[in-house]
Each structure stands twice: as structure tokens, then as C-alpha cells.
Amino acid sequence: MSSKLRNTLIAVGMVVLILAGIAIYFIHGNPAEMTLDAVSGTDPVIAEPNYEKVPTVKLLGASGWPDGATPVAADGLQVARFATGLDHPRAMLTLENGDVLVAETNSPPREANGLTGKIMEWMMDKVGAGVPSANRIILLRDGDGDGVAETRSVLLSGLNSPFGMVAHDGKLYVANTDALVSFPFEPGQVKIEAEATKLMDLPGGGGHWARNIVLSPDEEHLYISVGSASNIGESGMDKEAGRAAIHEFDIASGTHRLYGSGIRNPTGLAFNPDSGELWTTVNERDMMGSDGPPDYLTNVPIGVHYGWPWIYWRFEYDGRVEAPMPQYLQEYVRYPEYSLGAHVAPLGLVFADGGKLGEKFASGAFVARHGSWNRKPVSGYDVVFVGFDDRGNPLEQLPVPVLTGFLDGNDDAHGRPTMLAWDQTGALLVSDDTGGIIWRVTAP
């Protein structure tokens, strides 16, 4: 084959791929038949599955934030910019001296193999999520206490798609996509020169690459979230070893164990200060239509199984899964505690912890819903509050909007709320990855 003919065929192939992507974007899709409210809360409607060979797609471009523009805070709250010009900010950690660490990170490089790979690459570029990972942790400092970080420095670089961070007992723990590592560190440092110490390997990369971590209330264990490599194990369950799970790491001994499983993509991790329970936000499976299954917020007792990939919402079976289901799994699968809605992509999670944003938000959890790519109409793109009762259970009410206005009204999004953290003053920090901003929400 001549080089000219080969180049022509390559060009034709690329045109076909682009046209296929455009066709999926503009034509394909199963619009929602239910409202988002109907599939949210403690008793959501679980829609009949609408299995899709090609996913419903509704992409919003990343339009960015005009100068001076902000999201819309709920009545009684205010929002302002804490830091701007960041490179895909994700997880945050507030240190005891008030400094805020931010992981500037994204997916590790992926091979765009075949039609699906090329279309996914195009989709990520469309929504502003296709940027290379900066692979670093930056330190933001608000030295004068005016609610704006006036200085920043690169604390760590050369990491591998870092995400979750914990500072404890003279160390900074970082969850790279493929390993839990630690560095000697004391609050006040602005740069870490020491080499990393690897503590445990983690299954790297895959469809869900982000690894979050949280410290237990007794400060003896770290909990690490690892999402699935695939949608429903379609590449083989051997590829899912140690995934769709939360792991427990014992700090003193260095040993670790599987803590909870069958959790497709747990990202937000937080302990309820009232009950002491570990909770997580979970992105459920795709290609079953716009109405579900619901993404959810739930507690994670030791040994729990939430059904992935065979079962969702306790009794619902996914007929697409080819891998044999473990015997007796059904009787051990647990109901999620609270539906956050279909395809809202919940990520960040923090508990109210004493009502830092006022009495209306005194008991419950704040959740950042990153926003859908596979629902018509779109869902998420906001921060919401889920109220809890005195026993530590979600109330029978819908999510309460806390921060909205991320959609620009022109079928694009200014940004996407990603992770949450409390700053030292009691303000809620919200990372906006495609907007490159950390927002600061306060009660006047």
C-alpha cells in the first residue's frame, strides 16, 4: 500500500470517527421519562432498565466563568472566589495552620483505541476534561484572613494522578492512582523535597482512576476508595480485582484489607461526626437510560456489599453482566441509604459538623454533583445538602440546593463542582475542575 493511499484511508477513518461522534452527540439518546425528583431521596422510583448499545449522550461544553461571575448560593449564603487560575483542581485538604492543599490532577494517559476510544477522547475534550494531568499538589495560603488565597506554591510534583490527601502525625499521605504513598511533612512547609514511601499498591488507571482517602476518627486507619475499571465488568472480572471497593489501611502495622465492596465508583469519603460511620458517594452504572440507576449516598459498614456489577438497589439485576454471580450474594447485598438522582455524578462529600453554614444546614451532608454526560436533560452541576435525623439517617426529603448556576444557559457549563472541604474558618470550599477555581461559601 502506498503512503498516499494509507494517509487517505487514515483521513477517511478520522472523518468517519468524527461523524460518528457527532451523530451520537446530536441524535442518539433516550430522554428521561421521570423527573430527577422522582428518582431521588430515601425512596426513589427505580426505573425499568433500558439497555443501550450506544449510551445516551448530552454533553455540555466548558464555557468558563466571565470576570466577576460566580455560582448562585442558597438564600442566606454567600459565595466568592478563594483561588483562580488552577489546573484542573480536584481533592482539597485544609491543614491545622489554615493552609489548603489542592490536587491538580486528571486521568493518566489513556489509549484511544477503536471507535469507542476515539469517541470518548472527543467527549472528554468537549467537556473540558481532556487536559493532561498536572500531577502535583499545590499549597494555597490566605495569610491575611480575607477569604482569598494570596500566595501559592508547588508542594509536591511528579506524582501519578494524585487525588486524596491526609496529613497526620508528621506525614502527608497521598493516594496516587496506583499506590498509597507518604512523605514526611509538617504544616507550615511550602515544599516537600523527600522521596515518597510506598505503603500499598492500588489497582491503577482504568475507567475510574481517582483514589480518595480519609482518616478514621481514632486516627488509626486510612480508608481508600478504588472505582471499577469498567461499566459492568465487561472486560472480565479478573480486571476488577481489588476494585469497586473501599480498602482499610492500618497505619501502625502497614497491613490492609478489603473493607467494603460491590461499590462501582465510590469517590467522596467522610465520617459522620454524630454516628462515627464511614459514608461515601457512589456513581452507579451507565447505558440503562436517562432514568437510572440512581447515583447514591450511603454508609459503609465493614464487610458490606452493594451488588456491583450483578445487582443494584438491593433487588435489581443487571441482565447484561456475563460473569457468574457469587453464590448467595443476593442475601448479603445492602440497600443504599439515599438516592442523589440519576447520572448526577456525585463526588465531593463533607458533613455539616455543627452547622457551620447556619441552622438550615446544621445536621446532614453536603455533596458536590459533578454533572451528567449521559442523561437528557442533564442533571447535577450543583452542590446540594442532604439533611439527617438525630439517629444519623437521611431525612425523607429531596436534596436541598446549596450552590447552583454552573450552567450558562447556552447548552454549556461555566464549570463543574468537584470536591468539598471545610476551611479553618468554617467556610465551605468547592473545587471547580473545568473552571479552574476554588469557590468559598459562607454564612454572613
pLDDT surpassing 90 at residue 277:
yes
C-alpha cell at 408: 450558562
pLDDT in tens, 406-436: 999 888 999 999 999 999 999 999 999 999 9
Q: Is residue 240 predicted with pLDDT exceeding 80?
A: yes
Give the 3-state secondary structure of 198-232. EEEECCCCCCCCCCCEEECCCCCEEEEEECCCCCC
Q: For position 354, what pLDDT does the model report?
A: 82
Report whether pLDDT(22) > 60: no
Element (H, E) at 19: helix 3-26
Angle between helices 3-26 and 114-126 in degrees, nearest 10: 60
Q: pLDDT tens-digit profile of 85-103?
A: 999 999 999 999 999 999 9
Note whether 380 and 370 are within 8 A (CB): yes
Q: Which three cell numbers stand for residue 55?
A: 449510551
Q: Is the pLDDT of residue 54 over 90?
A: no
- Kindly report the number of other CB atoms within 10 A of residue 422's CB atom: 18
Over pLDDT 90: what percentage of the chain? Answer: 84
Residue 25: predicted pLDDT: 47
* CATH homologous superfamily for the domain 31-442: TolB, C-terminal domain (2.120.10.30)
More confident residue, 390 or 13: 390
3-state secondary structure 350-389: EECCCCCCCHHHCCEEEEEECCCCCCCCCCCCEEEEEEEC
**Alpha carbon separation from 183 to 59, 99, 135, 243, 399 (Å, rounded):** 39, 17, 16, 25, 38
Q: In which band, very low, low, confident or very high, does the pLDDT at 207 lie, cut at 50, 70 and 90? A: confident
Cβ-contact 180, 213 below 8 angstroms: yes
Task: Report the percentage of the chain scoring pLDDT > 70.
Answer: 89
Phi-psi sector, 313: left (phi>0), alpha (psi -120 to 50), beta: left
From residue 315, how far is each of 49, 67, 184, 206, 264 by CA, in Å?
Answer: 13, 49, 47, 27, 16
Contact indicator for 97, 143 with CB cutoff of 8 Å? no
Which tens digits make up the pLDDT trace of 174-197? Answer: 999 999 999 999 999 999 999 999
Residues 11-23, mean pLDDT to the nearest whole number: 54
Could you tell me if 181 and 164 are in contact, meaning their C-beta atoms sit under 8 angstroms apart?
Answer: no
Q: How far apart are CA 343 and CA 425, in angstroms?
A: 33
Q: What is the pLDDT of residue 121?
A: 55
Spatial contact of 338 and 386, defined as CB atoms under 8 Å apart = yes
Contacts (Cβ under 8 Å, ≥6 apart) of 27? none
All three cell numbers of 20, joined, read 460518528
Cα 368 from Cα 403, distance rounded (Å) = 9
Other CB atoms within a 10 A radius of the CB of residue 314 amount to 13
Mean pLDDT rounded to a whole number for the chain: 92
Per-residue pLDDT tens for 144-170? 999 999 999 999 999 999 999 999 999
Q: Nearest CA to 203 among 184, 230, 221, 183?
A: 230
Residue 2's pLDDT is 65
User: How many angstroms separate the CA atoms of 366 and 363, rounded?
Assistant: 10
Residue entry with cell 470576570: 67
What does the pLDDT read at residue 333?
98
**Tens digits of per-residue pLDDT, 249-267?**
999 999 999 999 999 999 9
Query: What residue ranges do the domains of the chain occupy?
Result: 31-442
- Tell me: pLDDT of 216 over 50: yes
Match 469517541 to its residue by C-alpha cell.
Answer: 119
- Separation between Cα atoms, residue 373 and residue 380, nearest integer Å: 10
Q: What is the mean pLDDT of residues 117-130?
A: 56
With contact defined as beta carbons under 8 Å apart, do 308 and 317 qualify? no
Half-sphere exposure of residue 443, counting CA atoms within 13 Å on the CB side?
Answer: 14
pLDDT of residue 3: 62
Q: Which long-range contacts (CB under 8 A, 24 or more apart) does 14-20 make?
A: 17/115, 17/118, 17/119, 17/122, 18/122, 20/115, 20/119
Residue 20 banded pLDDT, cuts 50, 70, 90: low
Q: Cα angle vertex 82, ends 382, 188, to 5°?
A: 125
- CA atoms of 57 and 345, how far apart (whole Å): 14
Local confidence band at 236 (pLDDT 50, 70, 90 cut-offs): very high
Contact 250, 220 (CB under 8 A): yes
